[in-house]
């Protein structure tokens, strides 16, 4: 379960007030612990690090020339959820190391130098967007669903704010469908306005619609962890969840401006196929549940950033991991 904002802030401020030197002394031990994994896990970790941080050449000149660079020791009191999550990793590195970070919803690619961020577009030019697990209190929420797919309502549900053009177009096409319970939670479109539904209430439907917002869809992770089938248009952005590795019609059902009702009818009539896709989604999520391994991957993503900006020396074995 995610923390409320007050608890999150208390925890974040508490950690930020602990002298960083206590964490920095542990970095060598962390590297040693990582190397204790077996070959299969090390190969997996290396692949994940390479997925999030695609940089494999020195970018120190670009970093030094960037006016947005800052020391990582700076206390995180802006964009708190993302900042605290970034601090949980960066506090293990020396205070005077430099980085460039963009804490917010990112749906564009950056020019050099590489930038630490939460999200990036799904395209071949996204290599300067270095992904960390940020805003996890909102995005990385996985739920236990005690209701079987067969016992749920034969409809698709969505609740969310409508500020983006693609969400507006989706509502124009499908609001009022007898197969959908769509509701807008902001006041800009009163004709679509409906009451709030909790995650637990939404999980009473066989189908949960996942629509991207400014970058990724915030409901995607918990919806995939449910016993409902996720319906989503083609995804355009990704985060630490590696949305780019999700396979349409294997982990979720791909829908467009024409086929939503057709897909709902099909999987209502073919529950075994729906259950297999739900199971595939659950298996995909399992890789993110090992908190220690997730932490180590984050450490290596940042270590690779500081290594290729010529700020950090690494032992041969760790270098082999980050170079892949």
Average pLDDT over residues 52-63: 98
The pLDDT confidence band at residue 88, using thresholds 50, 70 and 90, is: very high
Contacts of residue 104, defined as CB under 8 A and 6 or more positions apart, other chains included, come to: 79, 82, 117, 118
The pLDDT confidence band at residue 6, using thresholds 50, 70 and 90, is: low
Q: Which CATH superfamily is domain 149-286 in?
A: Glycogen Phosphorylase B; (3.40.50.2000)
Kind and range of the H or E run holding 130: strand 129-131
Residues of the chain above pLDDT 90, percent: 87
For the chain, residues classed under CATH 3.40.50.2000 are 149-286
Specify the 3-state DSSP secondary structure of 252. Answer: strand
Q: How far is 76 from 8, CA to CA, in rounded Å?
A: 13
The pLDDT confidence band at residue 210, using thresholds 50, 70 and 90, is: very high
Q: What is the pTM of this model?
A: 0.93
DSSP assignment string, 154-216: EEEEEEE---SHHHHHHHHHHTT-TTEEEEE-SSS-GGGB-----HHHHTTEEEEE----SSS
- Positive or negative, the CA dihedral 301, 303, 306, 309 is negative
Q: Which two tokens stand for residue 64?
A: 């030094």
The pLDDT assigned to 1 comes to 47
Tens digits of residue pLDDT in 258-305 = 999 999 999 999 999 999 999 999 999 999 999 999 999 999 999 999
Mean of per-residue pLDDT scores for the chain: 93
Average pLDDT over residues 36-57: 98
Q: How far is 94 from 236, CA to CA, in rounded Å?
A: 35
């Amino acid at each position: 379960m995610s923390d409320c904002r007050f608890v999150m802030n208390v925890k974040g401020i508490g950690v930020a007030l602990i002298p960083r030197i206590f964490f920095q002394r542990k970095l060598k031990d962390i590297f040693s612990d990582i190397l204790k994994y077996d070959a299969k896990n090390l190969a997996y970790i290396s692949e994940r690090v390479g997925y999030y941080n695609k940089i494999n050449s020195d970018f120190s000149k670009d970093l030094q020339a960037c006016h947005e660079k800052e020391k990582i020791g700076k206390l995180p009191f802006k964009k708190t959820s993302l900042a605290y999550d970034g601090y949980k990793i960066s506090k293990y590195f020396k205070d005077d190391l430099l980085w460039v970070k963009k804490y917010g919803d990112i749906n564009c690619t950056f020019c050099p130098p590489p930038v630490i961020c939460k999200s990036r577009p799904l395209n071949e030019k996204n290599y300067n967007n270095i992904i960390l697990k940020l805003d996890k209190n909102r995005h990385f929420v996985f739920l236990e669903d005690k209701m079987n797919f067969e016992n749920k309502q034969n409809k698709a549900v969505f609740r969310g704010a409508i500020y983006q053009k693609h969400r507006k177009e989706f509502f124009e096409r499908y609001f009022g469908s007898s197969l959908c319970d769509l509701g807008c939670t902001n006041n800009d479109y009163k004709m679509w306005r409906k009451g709030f539904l909790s995650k637990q209430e939404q999980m009473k439907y066989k189908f949960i619609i996942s629509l991207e917002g400014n970058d990724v869809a915030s409901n995607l992770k918990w919806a995939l962890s449910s016993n409902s089938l996720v319906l989503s248009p083609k995804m355009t952005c990704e985060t630490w969840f590696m949305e780019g590795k999700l396979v349409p019609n294997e982990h979720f059902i791909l829908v467009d401006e024409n086929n939503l009702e057709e897909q709902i009818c099909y999987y209502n009539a073919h529950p075994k196929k729906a259950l297999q896709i739900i199971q595939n989604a659950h298996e995909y999520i399992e890789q993110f549940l090992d908190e220690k391994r997730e932490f180590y991957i984050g450490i290596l993503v940042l270590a690779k950033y500081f290594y290729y900006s010529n700020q950090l020396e690494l032992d041969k074995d760790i270098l082999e991991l980050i170079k892949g």
